């Protein structure tokens, strides 16, 4: 038997687990809490939720490295971006030769070095692009070589000019933008102006009182569109739909105001809610294609396509009918395909007839037949049949 592995105790959940369920300090000891309990409140996009843990584990915090790991997981599969997925990978990366000599106290210095290196890299890239632009304009290099020298953010443009660059603040809905070029709220009108007092009470009870009437209208519009697109029956799915509508409203508001971080967080929440309730276009298409859930759709399909092979089957759907069909098939094969079965039936019928004749003879002559009489008579019949076969075979041979 193999040696039993040591168990460790989690002070939070009170369970004993193997060593792989705990993080390891630099001195080789295990954390007081298991991985699940220790990271349960981590938000991978909020530094305040995990910086104390990095300090506890005595590893430096380098935002660029953390963000790279986080974004790589999210781009591959958003559902795998859990509270512990980035933290565990980050600790493993900090054990590599490149980082293992650094501690938490080195965080500020490493962050500054990263910022300086990034600024230097950006300046070098800018100088290369300016040189490539000048050579391209002078005809010293080809357009292909010029585009190759450009970075991913500029290579699609030819000789960009400063006045062509647009800042985030100039985008529609961004903070600090010039709103004079866009339609005003007075010109647009209030979508919720036509709501009665009863309507407002109903919508406040359904969506909450902390929304404007115009927001109620948007929420109700989205809710009705979703109920028309998906089959919603139970209360739990309805509650999830309400949360999806609210999240989408806040997500659009964050995007319109230029709050990209808030938009990304809300977008992830919206994706998780949709997947949990199966509110996706693929799911909706699959359900609509595979099922006919009303008589009207069935009649329309019959009128449109006529004979529908997909829904026709020759096999009875009732279990009793299926059993009877199997028995009939078996009997048919037994009679038609088993060549010896017909002869057995014929011999049995002859024996029944012989027995009947013997009974009649016995009754006429006034005595009762014994079992030995039947045996003797049948043996005589078999001997006669054997003699007949031999005679026929001799005639055939001649």
DSSP 119-169: HHHHHHHHHHHHHHHHHHHTTSS-HHHHHHHS-TTTTTSSS--GGG---GG
Q: Compute how many other C-beta atoms are within 10 angstroms of the C-beta atom of residue 118.
A: 11
Identify the residue whose tokens are 């999830």: 240
Contact 49, 74 (CB under 8 A): no
What whole-number distance in Å separates Cα of residue 147 and Cα of residue 154?
8
**The pLDDT of residue 160:** 34
Count of residues in the chain: 398
State how far the alpha carbon of 233 is from the alpha carbons of 272, 307, 392, in Å. Answer: 20, 32, 82
The helix/strand/coil state of 359 is helix
Rounded Cα distance, 84 and 49, in Å: 12
HSE of 37, CA atoms in CB hemisphere, 13 A: 15
Whether residue 274 contacts residue 280, with contact meaning beta carbons closer than 8 Å, is answered with yes
The confidence score (pLDDT) of residue 343 equals 67
- Contact of 241 with 232, CB cutoff 8 Å: yes
**Tokens, residue 205:** 């009870």
* Sign of the C-alpha dihedral computed for residues 166, 170, 173 and 176 taken in this order: positive
Beta bridge partners, 18, equal 7
- Work out the number of other CB atoms within 10 angstroms of the CB of residue 25: 12
> Which residues, including other chains, have CB under 8 Å from residue 267's CB and lie 6 or more apart?
251
Would the pTM count as exceeding 0.85?
no
Answer for the pair 252, 246: CB distance below 8 angstroms, yes or no.
no
- Token output for 157: 């443009």
Residue 320: burial class (beta carbons within 10 Å; 0-12, 13-18, 19+): exposed
Structure-token match 């005809």, residue found: 139
Sequence ranges of the domains in the chain: 189-279, 323-397
d(CA 103, CA 97): 13
* CA pair distance 201, 194, nearest whole angstrom: 14
Residue reference for tokens 């009108």:
189
Q: Are 73 and 81 in contact (CB under 8 A)?
A: yes
Rounded to whole angstroms, the Cα distance separating 200 from 195 reads 6
Query: What pLDDT score does 60 carry?
Result: 92
| pLDDT the model gives residue 52 | 92
Helix (H, G, I), strand (E, B) or coil at 211: coil
Q: What is the pLDDT along the chain (398 residues), one digit of tens a residue?
A: 444 567 889 988 888 888 888 999 988 899 999 988 999 888 888 888 999 999 999 999 988 888 888 888 887 777 778 888 889 889 888 888 888 889 999 888 888 888 888 788 888 888 888 888 888 888 888 877 777 766 544 433 333 333 333 333 444 444 444 555 555 555 656 676 777 888 888 888 888 888 888 888 888 888 888 888 777 777 888 888 888 889 888 888 888 887 888 888 888 888 888 887 777 655 555 555 555 667 777 777 777 766 555 555 665 567 777 788 888 888 877 777 665 666 677 777 877 887 777 777 666 665 555 667 667 777 777 777 777 777 767 766 76
Tell whether the torsion through CA atoms of 248, 250, 252 and 258 is positive or negative.
negative
């Amino acid at each position: 038997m193999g040696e039993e592995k040591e168990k460790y105790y989690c002070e939070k959940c009170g369970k004993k687990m193997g060593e792989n369920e705990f993080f390891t300090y630099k001195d080789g000891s295990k954390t007081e809490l298991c991985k699940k309990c220790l990271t349960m409140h981590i938000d991978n996009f909020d530094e305040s939720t995990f910086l104390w843990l990095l300090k506890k584990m005595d590893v430096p915090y380098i935002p660029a490295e953390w963000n790279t790991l986080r974004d790589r997981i999210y781009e591959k599969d958003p559902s795998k971006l859990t509270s512990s997925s980035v933290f565990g990978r980050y600790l493993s990366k900090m054990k590599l030769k490149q980082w293992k000599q650094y501690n938490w106290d080195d965080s500020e210095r490493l962050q500054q070095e990263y910022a300086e290196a990034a600024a230097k890299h950006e300046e070098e890239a800018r100088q290369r692009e300016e040189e490539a632009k000048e050579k391209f304009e002078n005809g010293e290099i080809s357009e292909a070589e010029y585009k190759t020298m450009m970075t991913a953010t500029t290579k699609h443009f030819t000789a960009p000019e400063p006045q062509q660059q647009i800042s985030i603040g100039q985008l529609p809905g961004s903070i600090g933008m010039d709103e004079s070029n866009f339609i005003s709220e007075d010109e647009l009108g209030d979508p919720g102006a036509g709501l009665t007092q009863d309507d407002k009470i109903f919508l406040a009870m359904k969506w909450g009182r902390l929304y404007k009437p115009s927001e109620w209208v948007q929420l109700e519009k989205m809710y009705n569109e979703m109920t028309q697109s998906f089959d919603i029956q139970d209360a739990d799915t309805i509650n999830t739909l309400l949360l999806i509508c609210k999240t989408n409203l806040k997500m659009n508001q964050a995007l319109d105001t230029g709050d990209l971080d808030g938009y990304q967080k809300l977008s992830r929440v919206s994706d998780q809610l949709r997947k949990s309730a199966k509110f996706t276009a693929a799911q909706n298409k699959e359900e609509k294609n595979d099922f006919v859930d009303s008589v009207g759709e069935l009649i329309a399909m019959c009128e449109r396509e006529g004979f529908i092979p997909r829904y026709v089957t020759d096999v009875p759907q009732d279990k009793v009918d299926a059993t009877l069909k199997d028995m009939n098939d078996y009997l048919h094969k037994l009679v038609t395909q088993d060549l010896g079965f017909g002869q057995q039936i014929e011999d049995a019928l002859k024996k029944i007839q012989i027995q009947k004749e013997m009974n009649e003879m016995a009754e006429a002559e006034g005595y009762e037949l014994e079992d030995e009489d039947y045996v003797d008579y049948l043996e005589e019949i078999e001997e006669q049949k054997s003699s007949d076969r031999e005679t026929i075979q001799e005639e055939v041979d001649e």
